[in-house]
Amino acid sequence: MTKANIVNKISKSTGVEKSTVQKTVEAFMESIKSSLAKNENVYLRGFGSFIVKERAQKTARDISRNTTLIIPAHFIPAFKPAKVFVSQVKKAVNRLNKPK
Per-residue pLDDT tens listing for the chain (100 residues): 999 999 999 999 999 999 999 999 999 999 999 999 999 999 999 999 999 999 999 999 988 989 999 999 999 999 999 999 999 999 999 888 876 6
Label residue 51 exposed, middle or buried (CB < 10 Å: 0-12, 13-18, 19+).
middle
**Mutual orientation of helices 3-14 and 18-37 as an angle, nearest 10°?**
130
Task: Report the predicted TM-score, pTM, of the whole model to 2 decimal places.
Answer: 0.77
What local confidence, expressed as pLDDT, does residue 72 receive? Answer: 95
